[in-house]
Amino acid sequence: MDIYKSKSYYLSCFTFYAIRNFAVVLITLLLLLSTKNLASAQPINEDFYASANTFLRRLASAKRLGLGDNFVSSISGANALNSNPAGLSFINSNRLITNVLRFPHTVAVIAKLNDVERYEDRGQYVLRASGLEFINYSKPLGTAGGFGFDFAIGHEGRFSRVNHLGKATNGFPETDFAIGVSYAVKLFPGFAIGADGRWLRSKVQDAENIRHIGHGYAYNLGLIQQFGEHLRIGGVIRNLSNGLSFTDNSIPDRIRREVLLGGSYQFHYKSVDIQISLDLNPPFEDGVRTNFGGTIWYRDFIGARIGYLRHIEKRFGSIVSLETEQVEFEDRLWKTEGPTLGLGLQVRGIHINAAYTPQVRPMENDGEQIRIETGKSVYSFSIEQRF
């Protein structure tokens, strides 16, 4: 009798919770179902990720990068686009951001042990200089939430008017383009959900310098819960996608789905505003992936950011053999790790931000040493206008 009573009691409690928080339960179910459906639809090439995967991960504003690429709960407004779209609901004015990132020409030399137990240069990775520009716009809709629009262009290599065959190209060897829309709403005070979607176009080169174009879509779903005036926690599922469509099945077409969790705490002391935040990016298959950072603002005029990021991913790319001078292809883990720095200035509704972050580099395998000859730093710059 007590058992049946206990079951009825817990069932009634669950029913009451589900009715009272119907929107939350519904959204949770939708997230689970969408993740399951997308996971069952695998792209054709299952070995490596598309270049657009790196492009999407790089869509970060200078404000976010200065914080150690930290964004799950700490970013709001137009900075939330392609980060955690739920942050769109935490604004009360229109915001427009123009952001520029520059990635250096990087040369990494691989040294391996020889027969006499000395390290000898055997191979060389070369990452071409690349850049990324994007514009984000966000608009509050009152109690209806917030709306956002963005587009971005990424390019790699040197601009050329003709290719190696003498055919007119007037472009970069590899380019990525994205255009997206976002929406967020507060279901009840302090709790917001958001979603965004992007159409992607990616142009890549294969080993024979033949160009291939692929298209696809990617979606982000996020939520943020604010407790009082100081504490926020959040979560986001990024890059829900079936991959890109290339006519050549040998071209990597996967886009990596990610789940990130984070929290932030902010407080005011005299004329100074301080915020600290932390993000986790499980599962930690190839090592811990985490970002954390802090911001200090003085009188809403000038601010400084400092953070630390650690991101690891597997890449498939070309390496030049220093013995045969031939180009070979291999997969290897690449890591972006180190301190980040940012500076902000606010003048009459205009926010100017700059950030420094470390450049990605290959990880050493057993019996190897790697040295970076050139290209260790990434710089970004943004202008944000509020009106």
253 in a domain, yes or no?
A: yes
Answer left, alpha or beta for residue 385, where phi above 0 means left and psi between -120 and 50 means alpha.
beta
Asked whether residue 89 carries a pLDDT value surpassing 70, the answer given is: yes
Confirm whether 21 is domain-assigned: no
Q: How far is CA 314 from the centre of its chain?
A: 15
* pLDDT of 29: 46
Check: CB of residue 211 under 8 Å from CB of residue 188. no
Given a cut of 70, whether residue 181 has pLDDT beyond it is: yes
CB of 154 closer than 8 Å to CB of 176: yes
Rounded Cα distance between 77 and 182, Å, is 11
11 lies in some domain:
no
Strand partners, 121: 111
Structure tokens at 120: 């000898």
Task: Give the pairing of strands 160-162 and 168-171.
Answer: antiparallel
In degrees to the nearest 10, what's the CA dihedral of 182, 187, 191, 192? 0
Give the chain's end-to-end CA distance (angstroms, integer). 65
Q: What CATH number did the domain enclosing 132 receive?
A: 2.40.160.60
Distance CA 374, CA 106 (A): 5
- In a domain? residue 200: yes
Grouping H, G, I as helix, E, B as strand and the rest as coil, residue 362 is strand
CB 101 within 8 A of CB 378: yes
Bridge partners of 351, per DSSP, are 346, 384
Average per-residue pLDDT for the chain: 83
Residue 173: asked if its preceding bond is cis (omega within 30°), the reply is no
Please tell me the distance from the alpha carbon of residue 56 to that of residue 361, in angstroms, as a whole number.
18
Residue 15 falls within a domain, yes or no?
no
Range scoring the smallest mean pLDDT among 61-65, 72-76, 163-167, 192-196: 163-167
| Number of domains composing the chain | 1
What band does 154 get if pLDDT is binned at 50, 70 and 90? very high
Specify whether the CB–CB gap between 163 and 209 falls below 8 A. yes
pLDDT in tens, 197-214: 999 999 887 767 778 889
Task: Evaluate whether residue 186 is within a structural domain.
Answer: yes
Is residue 198 classed as helix, strand or coil in its secondary structure?
A: strand
Q: Determine contact, residues 51/128, Cβ cutoff 8 Å.
A: no
Contact call for residues 325 and 346 (beta carbons, < 8 A): no
Query: Has residue 7 been placed in a domain?
Result: no
The answer to which of 13-17, 233-237, 298-302 has the lowest mean pLDDT is 13-17
Among 28-42, 56-70, 163-177, top mean pLDDT goes to 56-70
The mean per-residue pLDDT over the stretch 301-309 comes to: 93
In this prediction, residue 165 carries a pLDDT of 61
Tokens of 300: 């809403």
d(CA 8, CA 321): 70
Count of alpha carbons within 13 angstroms of residue 187, beta-carbon side: 17
Amino acid identity, position 167: K
Determine whether 247 is exposed, middle or buried from the number of CB atoms within 10 Å of its CB (0-12, 13-18, 19+): exposed
pLDDT range class, residue 12, cuts 50, 70, 90: low
In sequence order, which residues have a C-beta less than 8 Å from that of residue 346 and are 6 or more positions away?
300, 301, 302, 303, 352
Rg, the chain, Cα only: 23
Q: Classify residue 314: in a domain, yes or no.
A: yes
Instruction: Write out the two tokens for 217.
Output: 């879509």
25-52 per-position pLDDT tens digit: 545 544 544 444 444 334 434 556 778 8
Q: Tokens 């959900």 label which residue?
A: 193
pTM of the model: 0.80
Give the domain range for residue 88.
41-386
